[in-house]
Structure 1
Amino acid sequence: MYSQLSIEALVDGFRQGNLCLDSWHRALLDQYADAGHLNSFISFAPQAFSGDTGTPEQRQAPLYGIPVSFKDNINVSGLPTTAGTPGLADYQPAADAGIVQRFKALGARVAGKNNMHELSFGVTSANLSYGSVVNPRHLQHSAGGSSGGCAAAVAAGLVPCAVGTDTGGSVRIPAAFCGVVGFRPSTGVYPGDGIVPVSQTKDSPGLLTRSLEDALFVHRHLTGTSCAAPTEAKPLRIGIPQQFFWSELETKVHSDCRAAIDCLADQGVEMVPVDDRLIGEINESIQFPLPIFEFFIDFPRFLLKAGQGERFLDILGQIRDPQIKKTLMAQLESPAISYEDYVQALMSKLRLDREYAGLFQQHRLDLIAYPTVSCTAPLLSDSGAQEHFEHFVRNTDPASNLAAPSVSVPVAAAGSLPVGLSFDALPGQDHQLLQMAQQLSRLLALR
């Protein structure tokens, strides 16, 4: 019901009386009742679907009546924040995270908390406590992760927008696998307080929506950004990284993404080959040392602020996923990543920043484009394979380390396994990125 309408059109229709908010909410509740097999929610808040109960002033809010779900590492008062791990199952936050406060101020309603990979340390959302998140597009396949429940909820039509978190690709990977839009803003653009952390340098909340139109609309209101259209009519220049981002691709991923790039080129978009081999080489020295080292600073600090500081070791001891537990306990007991390694990773990040900015300047680029993930979603039966992590984050991790905005859009044919194509811009160019990506999606006939 109303599934083809944008969020903006929905809110306008409810205000004007052309659409019935109460009927839509009842339809969403019916869909949720039929979607338990997806394991997309850890906790659900049916009171969010209570129809038109607002005052005339509240009905003027830009997201009035829109149910939004949040990954279960984001604090929502009145609901537990489990982060998908048994040791936090009884943690009840006293206040909303900053990003939740912003959504509520815009009139959105909290629909619940989405399932995720335990403690965000994985890319398949194969959660041993709450069940593996199932891909709504192809039920035998994983939804990806770690924000898999968010992507599944949006792809299944349970909510028009969900908020995940992205450390190395955890919004964009499941977006690509589930055939929805996944947007990671520049680090710091959305508030990061009240979120169970992995790495303060890399973590960011991010949006999962049905369309770029919805992502741009929500982002604009979250940040108070003007909706003015771009003034320049010059063709966009898109960098196509040759050596790293477009290498080692599954055949279907290469074919779908290449077809999209060729379609854009046929319509006047300038495609510029660029040498990105240094980006890949530099990123390797950041990818694991930085988040693993910071986790042992940032997570205990979060627990201290939450009044749970004495439970740090107990929470680690209760981790269900054996590979996550092994990795974290090994670092705790006999650190493989030293302070020197961490400092070196930070220095490498500076080199990565310079290399990335240099590519944009040298080639006069507006964006770069590349396949979000080098493969399609794995089967649920294969979602525990250890090699998935490094494989899936290979292309998404550089944007996280660069603090750059990145958006994944679906480009596969309807009915086939979804494939995502990512567009990235320079840090701070979030609004411009979404505007340009929406312009490109119209050329591709994407919503």
Structure 2
Amino acid sequence: MPTLPQLSVVEAKGAIDRREISCLEYVQALVEQQTKTESLNGSVHFNPDALLQAARAHDEALAAQTSRMPLAGIPLAIKDNIDCAGMPTAAGTAALRDAVPRTNAPVVARVTAAGALVAGKANMHELAFGCTNDNGFFGPARNPYDASRIPGGSSGGSAVLVASGAVPASLGTDTGGSVRIPAALCGLVGFRPTHGRYPSAGVVPISPTRDTVGPIARTVADVMLLDEILSGSSSALPAVDDTREFRLAVPYSTLWEGLSPDARPVLEPALQKLKDAGFELVDVDLRRYPFFRSQKSETIPFFEFSGAVRRYLETGGVAVTFPEIVARIKSPDVIRIVGDILGAGAISATEYAQALVAREQSRTSYAACLREVNADALLFPTVLVPACSIGEQTVAVGSEALQVFAAYTRNTEPGSNAGVPGITVPAGLTREGLPLGLALDGAPHSDRRILQIGKEMERVLCAATFPRLDAHV
């Protein structure tokens, strides 16, 4: 039997509604779990007294038969770059540490209107410019499966809090893989919707034409519920009677290249399980689609960053200037990236315009390759290597030694740039006990179909785990 901190959103909501547990009892267990796992540094703002009071209020409402909302009584952690009224939105950086917004971001307003309790703000890579969550100001978030390793980023704290049992689900943001990478490295489900599916206001940006909020949870059913609420769409899909309804394109020659020796014994058998279960898997050679992976896809976020942050500060009435933010960055990698964006590496308007054209070509390539092989989605490793040690600078991908950022975003970057929906589901653990994930990317606006396929993959793989926290915390 799972403990209270191991319950999914759907399980916890059902138990509370059936009066098997009170919301207060549930939240008390989560608060205790967060205290027990505090050394993982998943949280940067947490007020247990306020959360417990919200749980008491929920129980009173339930007793009065007035609480029937889909997330009523369920605590969610919110990434530190998403506005929550009354809590700092620091975006992981020193200059914004005391910036408290007046209102919730629309995504937060939607989950709280559905009854969710805000369980504090989650650690993140500074300004969301990285994939390790080695934050120079708040300190690194640590992987619950091995505290010496990265949880992934930039939504690393959002994944840590779910994987460690402090909350059943969280909201992160994804610009180049920042929801799916930490979800995969922490044994969770992470979803990036089609760009524009969820409202984007009230989020400290990198790139407004690429950024999106995305949910992280333990099960696809939880993510499907959150997607309905965040998107404002409850488009139901028919039940699946046969996995042969799903035809997935497997890009062996590209997105499976460079799979690490410790990842291969996990991911290749997972692929075989899907095939044995009736999924139709077909090979697709993405080299036939030269625009699939845009060259210099960082051009768009690098060009948009400065103006987007300035507009966020002005719109929110934040009494901090963009130069003040830049001057107080603490993480060495972010200092280097932002310095380059604002200096010698500044992007011209012409380069930006060319990158927008290339992105549209990439989006078209996604639709074309799936259409031509008559497939629902691409199927590939979310990451090619398990979580590396905190502070590591390079990792081996095949015969190449790549910078950590390039290595971990290699497979998630194309879909992020194209703005298409993508999900990662747990695929199993390496011999060292580190999680890995399998990912799907679909054509634009195929979000509910991608979620439906992910749910069936989850059922077949049965790879969800809970870390042995006593061994690593």
Q: TM-score, normalised by structure 1?
A: 0.95
Matches for 1:269-308 after TM superposition, within 5 Å: 269-277=279-287, 282-308=292-318
Q: What does residue 216 of structure 1 align with?
A: 224
Name the residue aligned to 2:234: 225
Match of 2:126 in 1: 118
| 1:316-360 deviation line (CA, Å, top 9, x unaligned) | 111112232232223323344221111111110111112111111
> Which residue, 371, 381, 400 being the options, matches 1:371?
381
Letter in 1 for 2:428: A
Q: Residues 38 and 206 (structure 1 numbering): CA distance in 2 closer, same or farther, change over 3 Å?
A: same
Aligned equivalent of 1:143? 151
Matched, 1:420 2:422: no
Output the CA distance in 1 between the equivalents of 2:410 and 2:252. Answer: 15
Greater shift after overlay, 302-311 or 19-28? 302-311
Structure 2: tracts of 5 or more residues without a match: 396-401, 465-473
CA distance in 1, matches of 2:323, 2:455: 46
Structure 1 runs not aligned, ≥5 long: none
The whole-number CA distance in structure 1 between the counterparts of 2:238 and 2:393 is: 42
- Secondary structure of the 2:202 match is coil
Q: Does 1:321 align with 2:325?
A: no
Q: Is the 8 A contact 2:387 2:434 kept in 1?
A: yes
1:258 match: secondary structure: helix
Paired residues in the alignment total 447
Q: Is contact 1:239–1:273 with CA below 8 Å preserved after alignment? A: yes
Aligned equivalents of 2:290 and 2:434: distance in 1? 27
Partner of 2:57: 53
CA distance, structure 2, for counterparts of residue 231 and residue 270 of structure 1:
14
Specify the code of the residue in structure 2 equivalent to 1:445. C
Quote how far apart the aligned CAs of 1:131 are: 0.9
Q: Residues 227 and 58 from structure 1, CA distance in 2 versus in 1: closer, same or farther, beyond 3 angstroms?
A: farther
2:27 counterpart (16, 25, 28) = 25
| Among 409, 421, 434, the residue aligned to 1:405 | 421
1:333 maps to a residue whose letter is: G
Distance between the aligned counterparts of 1:309 and 1:400, measured in 2?
31
What per-residue deviation string (whole Å, max 9, x for no partner) do you get for residues 261-313 of structure 1? 11111122111000112567653424211111110221111111122376111
SS in 2 for 1:285: coil
Structure 1 residues 157 and 231, CA gap change in structure 2 (3 angstroms): closer
The structural deviation recorded for 1:90 is: 1.5
Larger deviation: 234-243 or 162-171? Answer: 234-243
Provide the rounded CA distance (Å) in 2 between the counterparts of 1:10 and 1:313: 45
Give the superposition deviation at 1:59.
1.9
CA distance in 2, matches of 1:330, 1:220: 39
The match for 2:398 is none
> Does 1:442 find its partner at 2:459?
yes
Identity of aligned residues (%): 35
- Does residue 246 (structure 1) correspond to residue 256 (structure 2)? The answer is yes
Q: Distance in 2 between matches of 1:19 and 1:227?
A: 29
CA distance in 1: counterparts of 2:305 and 2:383, whole angstroms:
25
Confirm or deny: 8 A CA contact 2:136 2:332 kept in the other structure.
Answer: no
- Distance apart, 1:8 and its partner CA: 2.2
1:232, distance to aligned residue in structure 2 (A): 7.5
Please tell me whether the aligned partners of residues 258 and 384 of structure 2 are also in contact (alpha carbons under 8 angstroms).
yes
Closer, same or farther: CA 131–28 of 1 in aligned 2, 3 Å: same
CA contact (8 A) 1:154 1:160 kept: yes
CA distance in 2, matches of 1:180, 1:232: 25
Superimposed CA distance per residue, residues 186-217 of structure 1 (whole angstroms, 9 cap, x where no aligned partner):
11111110000000111000011011121112
1:173 matched to 2:181: yes
C-alpha spacing 1:107/1:332, structure 2 compared with 1 (3 Å):
same
TM-score in terms of structure 2 length = 0.90
